[in-house]
Structure 1
Amino acid sequence: MHAHALLHLLQLSSPSLPIGAYSYSQGLEAAIENGTVKNEATAQAWIADALHEVVARFEAPVLWRLLHAFAQRDGAAVALWNERFIAARDTAEFRAETIQMGYSLGKLVADLKLGDEALLQILQAQAEVPLPTALACAAVALEVPPEAALLGMLFSWAENQVLACVKSVPLGQVAGQRMLLALQPQLERAAQTAQQLQDEELSNWSPGLSLLSMQHEVQYSRLYRS
């Protein structure tokens, strides 16, 4: 990867990217509340299961398709996967999360004038912009290779999950870094899965996670918005 593309990827993957990712746990806080996640071992198992059973089988392959659709300036394909991703959000919190972060990143793309006019027109043509759509547009605009953008998205997701565990289980900072190191081979495997799945194989079927998200909506005490 060229240095400029690597630097752009680091910027897109940075926790300082102003899209509010740190404020969401994606159901993890509810799992901590009910005792499913209670220490380093259960936290790592939770993140790995969510990675392989949900993210690698739906969020990541949708991003992979959006990356190629934006690269080809294929507005119809972008609209198709944009709509399918939003429709697959099965709780109000999950839907609000991706729309809020997508809006923030999409606004950043527009404010920084990233990419050409065709890219911006495709992005702005969407009635609502979830995070994968905005991220794909930004990555293509910044000339980040699709394989790298996919890994960056997966690492950012894992890092946010680990940070939620560090703060809420709670775990120490060393434990958090140990978890991220242990997850790296699994992130690579998840990226490979995302690139290989056919359209009819995509699935975000995870009823346990959906129930936890619904419980989080009415959780008495919470730090996160999902």
Structure 2
Amino acid sequence: MLMTTSEPLAFDDRRGMTADEGAALYRLMTWLSPGFPVGAFSYSSGIEWAVEAGDIVDAASLRDWLAAMLADGSGFCDGVFLAQAHRAASARDDAQLREIAELAAAFVPSRERQLETSTQGRAFIEIARAAWSCDGLDERVAACGGAVVYPVAVGVVSAAHAIPLAPAMHAFLHALVSNWISAGARLVPLGQTDSQRLLAALEPAVVVTAGRALEASLDDLGSATFRADLASLRHETQYTRLFRS
């Protein structure tokens, strides 16, 4: 019988998930939910300046801005760093992990974005250590050397907990886009329904970007979102601000 779009995806409900699969999903849903206290709500990644400058005025312009940031800017780059950090941590390659952590920290285009990603990375690791400690986590964090930016922190902690890379990547990008939308919704402003429409509209871009980041190497890193980078720089001197970036 042909499957129609109204039929459910094939899944053996009798088997369900293994204990390890259920634990991995539970942790990802917790770590990358809006309720996980990394302080993401206080950062806008330059969106606040873009709204004041008139680049973002409604749901459509916010969608276009975020789609570019995701596919051609910091979203893709963060995904690459997460993937590379996860693989190096899983292989216990301390030298490679340190190089990735240092490059990721140096790759941030502005002081406020550096504050944003390093503060969230530090909070993510500290809370994971306090509530979700596991064997090998401290050693992997120490191997990173100095400041650990957010995508590297997620990659390292996920690897230490033996959480597969692909779901960690998708959960991270979903959380990233959700926080961008939350900031935009407060600034434009937008209602809750429009925010959910935006999240649904960006779903294909998240899936494609995750796939690209999983296949990419460090040589594939690069950004073409110059206006977004300028926004994060100009936000530093913006007179009236709700957000820290």
Unaligned runs of 5+ in 2: 1-16
1:121-149 CA-partner distances (Å, limit 9, x unpaired): 22024221111221112212333210000
* Of 149-158 and 65-74, the range deviating more from structure 2: 65-74
Does structure 1 residue 62 correspond to structure 2 residue 64?
no
* Contact 1:47/1:161 (8 A) holds in 2: yes
Give the alignment partner of residue 36 of structure 1, picking from 51, 55, 68.
Answer: 55
Give the deviation of 1:17 after TM superposition: 0.8
Does structure 1 residue 129 correspond to structure 2 residue 148?
yes
Aligned residue in 2 for 1:166: 185
Aligned residue in 1 for 2:240: 221
Give the deviation of 1:113 after TM superposition: 5.3
Which letter does structure 1 place at the counterpart of 2:142? Q
User: What TM-score does the superposition give when structure 1 sets the normalisation length?
Assistant: 0.94
Give the deviation of 1:165 after TM superposition: 1.3
Unaligned runs of 5+ in 1: none
Give the deviation of 1:178 after TM superposition: 0.6
* Contact 2:68/2:225 (8 A) holds in 1: no
**Runs of 4+ with deviation above 4 angstroms:** none
Q: Distance in 2 between matches of 1:49 and 1:205?
A: 8
Aligned residue in 2 for 1:47: 66
Q: Distance in 1 between matches of 2:77 and 2:102?
A: 13
Which letter does structure 1 place at the counterpart of 2:49? A
Does structure 1 residue 157 correspond to structure 2 residue 146?
no
Q: Secondary structure at the match of 1:176?
A: helix
After the TM superposition, which residues 132-211 of structure 1 pair with which residues of structure 2 at under 5 Å, given as runs? 132-211=151-230
Classify 1:113/1:15 alpha carbon distance in 2 versus 1 (closer, same or farther; 3 Å): closer
Does structure 1 residue 212 correspond to structure 2 residue 245?
no
Which letter does structure 1 place at the counterpart of 2:140? I
Classify 1:20/1:181 alpha carbon distance in 2 versus 1 (closer, same or farther; 3 Å): same
Q: Distance in 1 between matches of 2:66 and 2:76?
A: 14
Q: Distance in 2 between matches of 1:111 and 1:57?
A: 29
1:3-23 CA-partner distances (Å, limit 9, x unpaired): 111111101111111110111
Identical columns (%): 30
Does structure 1 residue 79 correspond to structure 2 residue 91?
no
* Structure (1 or 2) with the greater helix fraction: 1
Q: Distance in 2 between matches of 1:12 and 1:109?
A: 8
User: What TM-score does the superposition give when structure 2 sets the normalisation length?
Assistant: 0.87
C-alpha RMSD of the superposition: 1.4
Aligned residue in 2 for 1:120: 138
1:58-101 CA-partner distances (Å, limit 9, x unpaired): 11111111111111111111101100011111211011111111
Q: Distance in 2 between matches of 1:179 and 1:96?
A: 27
Q: Secondary structure at the match of 1:15?
A: coil
Aligned pair count reads 225
